[in-house]
């Protein structure tokens, strides 16, 4: 059995003091949850305060990106060691907004993924097709390519340490959710692809989250699907009660 993992992607929202308050609110609502992994991913500038608020609780801390280099002349980037030193244990890599607005490609995802793994961070690697790709019947090709190229040159042991988030781009922040059947189809495809590039045992262990307008009202039916192992939550993660309700739907 895979432990479900629910992570909040706060995107560019919340100041440091707001972040600490949100973590406190989440902690109070989920303090009795022991069987779901809970992660919050605030902006870099919030991490120190969020780490202090998360300390000693069942809420783990993630970042929204990580540099592929260890240090040096990479203005604006943050290294894996810097994140680890702050108490970060997870990192989102290749979110569709990074791909859309900041030129991320499967190659940059691959480099960042290797840096995260080398530092012992757990990567949450995002994949997902655009609406026009789905409508053109290209969903399968796009997803398989993102997984194969994003995970290129990784050993089966490294792949086993990752979490994948399937986030159809057309469902992110739009209020349109993939149906449980649509999402399960893609999750099963991702798991088959992992079996191909690693092996069946590893494919069976990797957690695959669904992301895209997940909210308390639809979380349970999505996470009840056999290959959906949690959620990566945007908008609904910015309020303690809706995020906690999604976590409880994973129980």
187 counts as catalytic:
no
How many Å apart are CA 69 and CA 85, to the nearest integer?
16
Residue 222 touches ligand PEP, criterion: CB under 6 A:
no
To ligand PEP, the closest distance from the beta carbon of 199 in angstroms equals 29
Q: Can you read off the two tokens belonging to residue 206?
A: 């990797």
Residue 203 touches ligand PEP, criterion: CB under 6 A:
no
62 vs 234, beta carbon nearer ligand PEP: 234
Binding residue (CB under 6 A) for ligand PEP from 203, 211, 218, 242 = 211
Catalytic residue (one of 37, 133, 167, 187): 167
Residue 232 touches ligand PEP, criterion: CB under 6 A:
yes
Residue 209 touches ligand PEP, criterion: CB under 6 A:
no
Contacts to ligand PEP from residues 27-66, by CB under 6 A = none
Binding residue (CB under 6 A) for ligand PEP from 63, 234, 246, 247 = 234
197 CB burial (10 A radius; 0-12, 13-18, 19+): middle
Q: Which residue is nearest to ligand PEP (CB)?
A: 234
Catalytic residue (one of 95, 97, 104, 187): 95
211 vs 230, beta carbon nearer ligand PEP: 211
- Kindly list the catalytic residues: 95, 167
What residues line the site for ligand PEP (CB under 6 A)?
A: 9, 167, 172-173, 211-214, 232-236
């Amino acid at each position: 059995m895979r432990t479900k993992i629910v992570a909040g992607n706060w995107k560019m929202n919340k100041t440091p003091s707001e972040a600490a308050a949100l973590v406190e609110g989440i902690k109070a609502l989920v303090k009795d949850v022991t069987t779901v992994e809970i992660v919050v991913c605030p902006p870099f500038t919030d991490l120190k305060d969020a780490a202090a608020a998360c300390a000693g609780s069942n809420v783990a801390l993630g970042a929204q990106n990580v540099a592929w280099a260890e240090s040096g002349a990479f203005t604006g980037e943050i290294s894996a060691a810097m994140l680890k030193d702050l108490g970060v244990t997870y990192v989102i890599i290749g979110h569709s907004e990074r791909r859309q607005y900041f030129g991320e490609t499967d190659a940059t995802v691959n480099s960042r993924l290797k840096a995260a793994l080398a530092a012992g961070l757990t990567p949450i690697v995002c994949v997902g097709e655009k609406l026009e790709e789905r409508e053109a019947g290209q969903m399968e090709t796009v997803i398989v390519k993102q997984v194969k190229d994003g995970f290129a040159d990784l050993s089966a042991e490294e792949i086993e340490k990752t979490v994948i988030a399937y986030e159809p781009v057309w469902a992110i922040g739009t209020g349109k959710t993939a149906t449980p059947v649509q999402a399960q189809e893609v999750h099963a495809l991702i798991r088959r692809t992992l079996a191909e590039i690693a092996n069946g045992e590893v494919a069976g262990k990797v957690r695959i989250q669904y992301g895209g307008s997940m909210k308390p009202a639809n979380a349970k039916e999505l996470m009840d699907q056999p290959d959906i192992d949690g959620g990566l939550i945007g908008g609904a993660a910015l309020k303690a009660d809706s995020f906690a309700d999604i976590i409880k739907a994973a129980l």
